Every structure is written in structure tokens, then in C-alpha cells.
């Protein structure tokens, strides 16, 4: 699908440049230039994405919304990991990328940063990014580590936040990827920030099939499930709120190459961020896992929030 898109847009680009060349020839021939060629920089952008479904559907949303307001867009989805695509946007080969503020900060901008709240992470990014780049407004949507329980368990014990676990933690088995046991964004921080000591820790997998099956079977009562995992919806799970910001913010936001965007583009991208929520991402990931195409999922979301 993404490859098709690139081909389609590629062909459109060829058509545009042919038209532009024709226009130039015409302009050169006639002294009265009635056909001003708009410089491509201002209204033509390249939208890129990392190589996983959620990043691609976010890029598709940016791309479709911008095309809807008349911006010429070239799609360069599925580029690779951050290590691969970040240098591309630094030099301007890509203009717009959906990013996660926390991961961007600690992977590519400032690996030693300890900022955890959205505001602190964004401030660190704003001061740390190279001058060619800037981040736009963060959305409420976050894809990050969490403490997740089943909705049934939450209802039975009246739990909505990690802090509420205090009264039951010593009866609970928490299961997660082995590193959760020893790292700060895991058992160490849960004890230090929230004073939680669990009955035991079961090494499972990284927000994968084993953790989800264990939650469902009741073998474990809590797990670190990434907050946009589609099974949160299909398996009736609940991501507990994290009032003390143990897990660093991972808000979805557009990372842009400053010289490639104008006010119209920035306003449109900010309008998207104003509407996007974590629940939206869960729902879109579920639709993708059921085989719906990126463009269908992205179009449906844009229509549902009135941006298309």
C-alpha cells in the first residue's frame, strides 16, 4: 500500500514538473507573464514516517489532511527506525514526520534527559533540537509504557490510577518484560514514586501475546501494556492513569523542517493534534490489525473529527 502511494504521488510529481516546465517555456516566449509559477518549496512537502503501522497511519493522516487543503504532498512512509529517518529530516529531505516527544528526545536529541511530563519533554526538545527543526503542538495521544489491568479487576477494586493500587498491590502478580523488574520505569519507580510492592513479578514479554494471555487468564493482574495496543479495546483492558508521571510522556506530535512549512500547514497540523487522543490510536490500530488500509483508517478518522 505505501509503495503504491509513493508511485502514485511520484507520477503526479512528474506531471507537475512537466506542467511547470511548460509554463516556464510559455513564460519565456510571451513577454506578459500571466502564469506565475509558484515556488515549489512553499506548498510542496514530503511527509515521512517510521517503519511501524501506527507511525504510518499518523503520516497518512497528515498527508491526506494537507492534500485536502491544497498542499502538494509526497509520501515517504515506512522509512525505517529513528536512527535512519532523523538525519533525513535534519537535512530537509523529509519535511514532516509524526513523532513521539519522549522517544525523540531520548533517542536523538538528548539521551541523558530525565524529563517525564509533556511540558518538560517539549521544553527539552525545543531547546535541544537543531535550528532547522521544530516540534508543533503535542496531541493528547500517547503511546507509552503503562500499568494496565483488566476492566473487571479495576471495577472489582475501584481502581482508576496507579496510586489506587496501594491497597491491593501486595496481593497482585505483575508481569512484564524481564527488564521491567530492574529499571526505574518499572518496579523500582513504582515502589519509589507510588510506594507499591507487588506480591511477585513474573517475567513475560514486551506488551506481547504472553502478557496479554496472562492478563486474560488471571495469571497476572497487571502488566506493562503499551497504551495504544489494540487489545486494550478488544480484550477490555484499562490503562491506569499515572498522576506522578513515572512513565515519560510519549505524545504524538509533528516534527517539521522549518523552512519547508508555512503558517497554513502548521495550522492544519496543529488542528490534527488538537483532536487526536490515545483512544483514537487504539481504535485505529485495531482497525489496521483487522486488515483495513491506512488510507481508509486515516480518512475515517479525519472525517470523524471534521477535518475532511
Partner 1 sequence: MNIWTRWIWPWISNSHHWHGPDGVPARLVEHLAYSGLALLIAVLIALPIGLLIGHRRRGAFTVVSVATAGRAVPTLGLLILVYLLTNASSWAWLIPLAVLAIPPILVNTYEGVLGVDADITDAARGMGMTGTQVLLRAEFPVALPLIIVGVRTAAIQVVATATIAAYISLGGFGRYIFDGLATNDYATVASGALLVVLLALAVQVLFVGIRRVLVPAGLRTRATGS
- The site for partner 1 (CB under 8 A) is made up of 175, 177-179, 182-183, 202-205, 209-210, 213-214, 216-217, 219
| DSSP-assigned letters across all residues of the chain | -HHHHHHHHHHHHHHHHHHHHHHHHHHHHSSS--SPPPPHHHHEEEEEEESSHHHHHHHHHHHHHHHHTT-EEEEEEEEESHHHHHHHHHTTSS-EEEEEHHHHIIIII-TT----SHHHHHHHHHHHS-TTEEE-PPPS-B-----EEEHHHHHHHT--BGGGGGGTGGG-EEEE-GGGGTSIIIIIHHHHHH----SEEEE--SSSHHHHHHHHHTS-SEE---TT-THHHHTTEEEPB-TT--SPP-BEEEEEEGGG--HHHHHHHHHHHHH--HHHHHHHHHHHHTT--HHHHHHHHHHHTT--
- Nearest residue (CB) to partner 1, 169 versus 210: 210
| Beta-bridge mates of residue 97 | 255
Minimum CB distance to partner 1 smaller for 210 or for 246 = 210
CA distance readout (Å), 139 to 78, 166, 187, 199, 249: 22, 30, 28, 36, 11
Nearer Cβ to partner 1, position 7 or 179? 179
- The C-alpha atoms of residue 108 and residue 82 are separated, in whole angstroms, by 8
Between 133 and 215, CB nearer to partner 1: 215
Report, in Å, the least distance between residue 245 CB and partner 1.
23
Closer to partner 1 at the Cβ: 27 or 202?
202
* C-beta closer to partner 1: residue 83 or 127: 83
Query: What are the distances in angstroms from CA 54 to CA 84, 122, 139, 202, 207?
Result: 17, 21, 15, 28, 15
Nearest approach in angstroms of CB 43 to partner 1 is: 46
Q: How far is the CB of 231 from partner 1 (least distance, A)?
A: 12
Which positions ≥6 away from 212 have C-beta within 8 Å?
223, 225, 229, 231, 235
Quick one: 176 or 255, whose CB is closer to partner 1? 176
Identity of the residue, 6 or 202, whose beta carbon is nearer to partner 1 in the bound complex: 202
Closest approach, Cβ 190 to partner 1, in A, equals 17
Residue nearer to partner 1 on the CB measure, 23 or 178: 178
Amino acid at each position: 500500500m505505501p509503495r503504491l502511494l509513493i508511485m502514485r504521488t511520484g507520477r503526479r510529481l512528474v506531471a507537475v514538473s512537466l506542467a511547470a516546465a511548460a509554463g516556464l517555456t510559455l513564460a519565456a516566449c510571451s513577454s506578459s507573464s500571466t502564469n506565475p509559477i509558484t515556488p515549489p518549496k512553499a506548498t510542496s512537502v514530503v511527509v515521512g514516517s517510521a517503519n511501524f503501522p501506527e507511525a504510518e497511519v499518523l503520516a497518512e493522516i497528515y498527508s491526506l489532511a494537507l492534500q485536502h487543503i491544497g498542499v502538494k504532498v509526497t509520501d515517504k512512509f515506512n522509512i525505517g527506525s529513528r536512527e535512519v529517518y532523523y538525519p533525513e529530516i535534519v537535512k530537509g529531505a523529509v519535511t514532516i514526520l509524526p513523532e513521539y516527544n519522549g522517544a525523540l528526545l531520548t533517542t536523538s536529541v538528548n539521551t541523558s534527559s530525565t524529563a517525564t511530563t509533556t511540558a518538560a519533554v517539549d521544553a527539552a526538545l525545543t531547546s535541544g533540537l537543531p535550528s532547522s527543526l521544530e516540534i508543533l503542538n503535542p496531541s493528547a495521544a500517547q503511546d507509552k509504557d503503562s500499568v494496565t489491568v483488566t476492566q473487571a479487576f479495576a471495577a472489582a477494586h475501584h481502581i482508576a490510577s496507579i496510586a489506587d493500587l496501594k491497597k491491593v498491590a501486595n496481593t497482585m502478580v505483575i508481569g512484564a518484560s524481564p527488564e521491567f523488574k530492574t529499571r526505574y520505569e518499572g518496579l523500582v519507580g513504582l515502589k519509589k514514586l507510588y510506594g507499591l510492592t507487588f506480591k511477585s513479578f513474573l517475567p513475560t514479554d514486551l506488551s506481547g501475546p504472553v502478557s496479554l494471555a496472562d492478563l486474560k487468564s488471571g495469571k497476572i493482574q497487571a502488566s506493562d501494556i503499551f497504551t495504544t495496543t489494540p487489545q486494550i479495546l478488544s480484550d477490555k483492558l484499562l490503562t491506569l492513569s499515572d498522576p506522578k508521571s513515572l512513565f515519560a510522556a510519549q505524545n504524538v506530535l509533528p516534527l517539521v523542517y522549518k523552512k519547508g512549512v508555512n503558517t497554513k500547514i502548521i495550522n492544519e497540523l496543529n488542528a490534527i493534534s488538537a483532536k487526536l487522543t490515545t483512544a483514537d490510536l487504539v481504535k485505529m490500530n485495531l482497525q489496521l490489525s483487522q486488515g483495513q488500509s491506512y488510507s481508509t483508517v486515516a480518512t475515517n478518522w479525519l472525517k470523524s473529527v471534521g477535518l475532511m
